[in-house]
Amino acid sequence: DGRRLLTEGFLPVLIEPIGQTLGLDQIERRVPLLASQMLGVILLRYVVGAEPLASMPAEDVVALVAPTLQHYLTGELPPAGGV
């Protein structure tokens, strides 16, 4: 099912190793944030075909999404358990 694919495939096989390789702190918090952004873009761009995202040049998508991904990877996160 979809949940199993994400929790046993996408996250631990594809995304978590990136965090480990980069030596990120708080991987257990950063990885789901990163995945949520990536999956949202993939879903809206390629599955739903939501405009203008679906027809936007890839370079524009990268320019718009990259700062958020960078923040999830290396930016300051609020304290665990709430703000």
Across the chain, mean pLDDT equals 87
The rounded distance, in Å, linking the Cα atoms of 3 and 75 is: 27
Residue 69 has pLDDT above 80, yes or no: yes
- The CA radius of gyration of the chain, in Å to the nearest whole number, is 14
More confident residue, 29 or 7: 29
Give the mean pLDDT of 2-24: 76
Share of the chain above pLDDT 90, in %: 47
pLDDT in tens, 18-48: 778 888 899 888 888 988 999 899 999 999 9
**Which residues, including other chains, have CB under 8 Å from residue 32's CB and lie 6 or more apart?**
11
More confident residue, 48 or 16: 48
